[in-house]
C-alpha cells in the first residue's frame, strides 16, 4: 500500500522536492514571468475579441431600442453638453466651429473615461469566470478596453456627419485620426490594467472614480480651448494642462478633423506617444505583478 | 488498490495550512476606522482567522480519481480551491503538473449571456482555437442536454441546467487535473450517470480527478481512492470503498464503527487519526 500511505496527516512519505524536480511540477497558482504571461495572453486573443463583442451587446440587451443606444448615447451626450456649454454658458469664445470642437472632445474623452470606469470593474464583475476557468487575468481589462474602443468607433459614425454638417470638408489630415486613436487605445489599455488591479483590491474604487473622472474631464479642455484658456495664465498651469493625457488625444483629434482648430502646442505628438508607452508598460506590469491575487476572496 | 500505471505525481500537497481571514463581530468597520488603518497600516482589529485546512499532505498520481468526503466545513472545497491556485497556503506548499481546473457549484459563467455564447466563450477562455470550438460545439450541446434553453440567457436556467452546461464545457478539454466540487449534485439521475461516465473517460485520458461530494454513492462508483477530511485534517486516506464505509460508520453515532470498518477492510486502509481526538 505504498502510494495509499503517501496521503496522511503527516508529511508525505515521499521526497517532495525530488518528485517536484523530477516530474517538473509547478507551484499552484504561480505567476509566469511577464514574457510567458504575454504569450498566454496572446493565446487568448480570440477569447478577448469574442468576449468584448458579447459584452457590448449584453449591455443593451434589456432595452427596447437595443444596439441603437450605442449610437444614441453619444448623440444625446453631445446634445446635452452643447446646450449647457455652448448655448447656456457660452464657452465657445475663441473657437471657430464649436459644435464639432465639442463633440470631438466628448467622444474622444469618453473613451478614456469608460476605459477607466470599466477597467475598475473588470475583475469584480467577472468573478464567476475567474473562479471556474484559468486564464491570464489581463484578458479582463484588455476586453473592457476593447468594449470602450468599439464604442468610440461607433461614435465616429455619429461624429463624421456632425463634422461635415457644421462646415468641415474631408481632408487628407483626417487620416491622422487613425494614429491618434491607436495611441489613445494603448494609453487606455495601460490605465485600464492599472485601475483594474486597484479596483480588485479596493472595492470602493468604483464609488470614487466617477468624481475623479469628472474632475479630469473639466481639466482636459473638452468644453473649452486649452490654448485660449492658458494664454494669460502662469507657465506651470499651462504646462500641466498641455501635458495632461486626457487633453492630449482630444487636441490631436481636433487638429486632425477641424479646418481651423485652436493652435496645437509644441511636442503634442511626443506627449501622445510618451503617455501611450508609459501607461501601457507601467500599467501592464503593475497588473501582472498581482496576477496571483485576482479572484481570491 | 493496484499501483497507478506510470506513477507520475500530478498534485503534491505538502503540509498545507489554509486560513480565511474574516472580520469578526467586534471588528471596527466604517469609514473613519478604515481610513485610520490605511494610514497606520495596522491589521484590522477583530480580524478572525478561520483555519479551514490544518496540515494536509497528500500525493495524487496520474490516472487517479480521488473522492474527498467529510461533513460541511471540513475544508474539502477550500482544499480544492488551493489546488486550483486560487488561494495561497498560509503554510506549506502545493505543486501541480499542468493547470488544474476547478469546477464548482457556486461558479456561474456569464449569467446575462445565452447558453451558446457561454459555450463559445468558455471554450475560448480555456485556450481553444475558434476551429476547435466549432468542432466541439455540438458535442457540448448534446452532452449538456438542455435543449432549446441553449438559446436563452443563463439566468433563466434552473440550477441543475446551469450545472450541466458548466460541466459539459469544462469536461470538453482533457484536463491534467480536474477538480469537481459538488458540481454534479444538482443534476438529475440521467445526467449524473452520463457525467460519471465522462469522469471515467477523463481519468482514462491520464488526468487526475478530484471529486468533492456528499453523495457517497457517487464517490464509491467513480473514485477508486477517497480521502476523509474532518475539521481540516485528514482522518483517513485509502481505497474508496473502505474509506466511505468507515465514514458512514462514523456518522453513525457509534465511534467504534470506524475501527470495526477498518478491521473489516483489512490492509486496504489505515486509520490515521481518531475523529473524536480532533
Q: What is the 3-state secondary structure (H, E, C) of chain B?
A: CCCCCCCCEEEEEEEEEEEEEEECCCCCCCHHHHHHHHHHCCCCCCEEEEEEEEEEEEEEECCCEEEEECCCCCCHHHHHHHHCCCCCCCEEEEEECCCEEEEECCCCCCCCCEHHHHHHHHHHHCCCCHHHHHHHHHHHHHHHCCHHHHHCEHHHCCHHHHHHHHHHHHCCCCCCEEEEECCCCCCCHHHHHHHHHHHHHHHHCCCEEEEECCCHHHHHHHCCEEEEEECCEEEEEEEHHHHHHHHHHHCCCCCHHHHHHHHHHHHHCCECCCHHHC
Residue of B nearest to A30 (CA): B85
Contacts of B239 in chain A (CB under 8 A): 4
A-chain CB neighbours of B85 within 8 Å are 28-30, 134, 292
The answer to whether the CB atoms of B88 and A29 lie below 8 A apart is yes
Beta-carbon separation of A7 and B112 below 8 A: no
Dump pLDDT digits (tens) for B44-69: 555 677 888 999 999 999 888 999 99
The pLDDT, as a whole number, for residue B8 is 87
Lowest mean pLDDT among A137-141, A178-182, A199-203, B1-5: B1-5
ipTM above 0.90, yes or no: no
Whether the Cβ atoms of residue B170 and residue B193 lie closer than 8 Å to each other: no
Cell numbers at residue B160, please?
Answer: 441543475
pLDDT of residue A54: 87
Spell out the residues 6+ positions from residue B254 whose beta carbon is closer than 8 angstroms to its own.
none
Does the structure show a pLDDT above 80 at A138? Answer: yes
**Contact present, B216 and B242 (Cβ < 8 Å):** no
Task: Classify A8 as helix, strand or coil.
Answer: strand
| Residue B111 contacts A, CB cutoff 8 Å | yes
Q: Which residue in B78, B107, B125 has the most chain A C-beta atoms within 10 A of its own C-beta, making it the best mutation to test that interface?
A: B125
Which residues of chain B does A291 touch, with a Cβ-Cβ cutoff of 8 Å? none
- How many beta-carbon contacts under 8 Å exist across A and B? 163
CA pair distance B25, B38, nearest whole angstrom? 20
Least confident of A251-260, B29-38, B55-64, B179-188: B29-38
Q: Give A-chain residues touching B117 at CB under 8 angstroms.
A: 54
CA distance B202 to chain A (A): 17
Nearest by CB: B112 against A14, A24, A61: A61
Nearest to A228 by CA among A191, A254, A197, A206: A254
With 0-12 / 13-18 / 19 or more C-beta atoms within 10 angstroms meaning exposed / middle / buried, residue A53 is: middle
Residue A40 makes CB contacts below 8 A (sequence gap 6+) with: A32, A135, A136
Give the 3-state secondary structure of residue A27: strand
Residue A219 or A30, more confident: A219
pLDDT of B60 reads 92
Q: How confident is the model at residue B26 (pLDDT cuts 50, 70, 90)?
A: low
A197 or B216, greater pLDDT: A197
B160-181 pLDDT per residue, tens: 888 888 888 888 877 788 888 8
The position carrying cell 474539502 is B76
> DSSP letter at A24?
T
pLDDT digits (tens, 9 = 90+) for A31-47: 889 999 999 999 999 99
Which pLDDT belongs to residue A143? Answer: 95
Q: Which of B55, B121, B166 sits opposite A47 (nearest CB)?
A: B121
Q: Which residue of B has its CA nearest to A62?
A: B112
Pairwise CB contact (< 8 Å): B110 & A43? no
Confidence label for B201 from pLDDT (cuts 50, 70 and 90): confident
Q: Is the pLDDT of residue B29 over 70?
A: no
Instruction: With CB atoms and an 8 Å threshold, state whether A26 touches B97.
Output: yes
Whether B150 has a pLDDT exceeding 70, the answer reads yes
Do residue B86 and residue A5 have CB atoms under 8 angstroms apart?
no
Do A102 and A81 touch, CB atoms closer than 8 A? yes
* pTM score of the predicted model: 0.80
The whole-number average pLDDT for the span A140-159 is: 93
Q: A50 vs B120: CB contact, 8 Å cut-off?
A: yes
Question: Considering only alpha carbons, which residue of chain B is nearest residue A47?
Answer: B124
- Inter-chain residue contact B124 with A4, CB threshold 8 Å: no
Three-state DSSP at A107 gives helix
Q: Taking CB atoms and an 8 Å limit, are A23 and B9 in contact across chains?
A: yes
B234's grid cell: 485528514
pLDDT in tens, A98-127: 888 989 999 999 999 999 999 999 998 887
- Within 3-42 of B, beta carbons closer than 8 Å to A belong to 3-4, 7-10, 12, 14-15
Pair type for strands B233-239 and B100-104: unpaired
Chain A touched by B138 (CB under 8 Å): no
Q: What is the C-alpha to C-alpha distance for residues B132 and B154, in angstroms, rounded to an integer?
A: 23
Question: According to the model, what pLDDT value does residue A10 have?
Answer: 45
Distance between CA B198 and CA B184 in Å, rounded?
A: 12
Classify the phi-psi angles of B137: left when phi > 0, otherwise alpha if psi is within -120 to 50, otherwise beta: alpha
CA distance A164 to B255: 86
B86 at A interface, C-beta within 8 A: yes
Cell 452643447 belongs to which residue? A82
The Cβ-side half-sphere exposure at A159, using a 13 Å CA radius, reads 24
Amino acid at each position: 500500500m505504498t502510494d495509499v500511505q503517501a496521503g496522511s496527516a503527516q508529511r508525505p512519505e515521499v521526497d517532495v522536492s525530488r518528485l517536484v524536480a523530477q516530474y517538473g511540477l509547478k507551484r499552484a497558482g504561480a505567476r509566469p514571468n511577464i514574457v510567458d504571461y504575454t504569450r498566454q495572453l496572446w493565446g487568448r486573443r480570440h477569447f478577448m475579441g469574442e468576449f468584448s463583442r458579447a459584452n457590448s451587446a449584453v449591455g443593451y440587451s434589456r432595452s427596447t431600442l437595443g444596439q441603437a443606444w450605442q449610437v444614441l448615447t453619444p448623440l444625446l451626450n453631445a446634445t446635452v453638453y452643447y446646450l449647457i456649454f455652448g448655448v447656456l454658458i457660452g464657452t465657445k469664445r475663441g473657437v471657430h466651429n464649436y459644435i464639432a470642437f465639442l463633440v470631438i472632445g466628448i467622444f474622444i474623452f469618453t473613451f478614456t473615461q469608460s476605459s477607466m470606469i470599466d477597467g475598475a470593474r473588470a475583475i469584480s464583475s467577472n468573478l464567476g469566470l475567474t473562479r471556474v476557468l484559468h486564464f491570464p487575468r489581463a484578458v479582463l481589462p484588455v476586453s473592457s478596453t476593447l468594449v470602450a474602443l468599439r464604442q468610440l468607433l461607433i461614435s465616429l459614425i455619429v461624429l463624421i456627419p456632425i463634422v461635415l454638417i457644421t462646415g468641415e470638408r474631408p481632408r487628407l489630415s483626417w487620416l491622422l485620426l487613425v494614429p491618434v486613436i491607436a495611441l489613445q487605445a494603448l494609453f487606455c489599455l495601460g490605465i485600464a490594467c492599472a485601475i483594474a488591479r486597484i479596483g480588485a483590491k479596493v472595492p470602493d474604487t468604483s464609488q470614487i472614480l466617477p468624481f475623479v473622472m469628472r474632475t479630469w474631464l473639466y481639466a482636459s479642455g473638452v468644453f473649452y480651448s486649452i490654448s485660449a484658456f492658458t494664454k494669460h495664465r502662469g507657465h506651470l498651469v499651462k504646462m500641466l494642462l498641455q501635458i495632461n493625457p486626457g487633453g492630449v488625444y482630444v487636441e490631436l483629434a481636433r487638429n486632425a478633423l477641424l479646418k481651423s482648430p485652436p493652435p496645437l502646442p509644441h511636442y503634442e505628438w511626443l506627449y501622445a506617444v510618451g503617455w501611450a508607452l508609459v501607461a501601457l508598460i507601467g500599467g501592464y506590469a503593475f497588473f501582472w505583478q498581482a496576477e496571483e491575487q485576482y479572484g481570491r476572496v | 488498490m493496484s499501483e497507478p500505471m506510470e506513477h507520475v505525481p500530478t498534485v503534491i500537497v505538502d503540509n498545507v495550512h489554509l486560513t480565511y481571514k474574516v472580520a469578526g463581530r467586534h471588528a471596527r468597520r466604517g469609514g473613519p476606522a478604515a481610513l485610520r488603518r490605511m494610514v497606520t497600516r495596522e491589521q484590522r482589529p477583530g480580524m478572525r482567522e478561520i483555519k479551514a485546512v490544518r496540515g494536509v499532505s497528500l500525493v495524487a498520481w496520474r490516472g487517479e480519481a480521488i473522492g474527498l468526503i467529510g461533513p460541511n466545513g471540513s475544508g474539502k472545497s477550500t482544499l480544492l480551491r488551493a489546488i486550483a491556485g486560487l488561494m495561497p497556503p498560509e503554510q506549506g506548499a502545493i505543486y501541480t503538473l499542468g493547470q488544474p481546473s476547478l469546477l464548482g457549484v457556486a461558479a456561474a459563467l456569464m449569467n446575462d449571456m445565452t447558453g451558446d455564447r457561454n459555450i463559445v466563450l468558455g471554450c475560448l477562455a480555456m485556450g481553444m482555437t475558434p476551429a476547435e470550438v466549432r468542432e466541439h460545439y455540438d458535442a457540448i450541446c448534446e452532452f449538456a442536454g438542455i435543449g432549446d434553453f441553449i438559446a436563452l440567457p443563463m439566468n433563466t436556467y434552473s440550477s441543475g441546467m446551469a450545472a450541466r452546461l458548466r460541466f459539459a464545457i469544462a469536461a470538453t478539454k482533457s484536463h491534467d487535473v480536474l477538480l469537481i466540487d459538488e458540481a454534479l449534485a444538482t443534476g438529475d439521475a440521467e445526467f449524473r450517470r452520463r457525467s460519471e461516465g465522462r469522469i471515467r473517460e477523463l481519468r482514462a485520458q491520464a488526468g487526475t480527478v478530484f471529486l468533492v461530494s456528499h453523495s457517497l454513492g457517487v464517490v464509491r462508483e467513480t473514485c477508486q481512492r477517497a480521502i476523509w477530511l474532518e475539521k481540516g485534517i485528514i482522518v483517513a486516506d485509502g481505497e474508496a470503498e473502505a474509506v466511505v464505509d468507515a465514514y458512514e460508520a462514523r456518522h453513525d453515532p457509534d465511534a467504534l464503527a470506524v475501527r470495526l470498518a477498518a478491521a473489516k477492510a483489512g490492509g486496504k486502509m489505515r486509520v490515521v487519526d481518531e475523529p473524536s481526538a480532533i
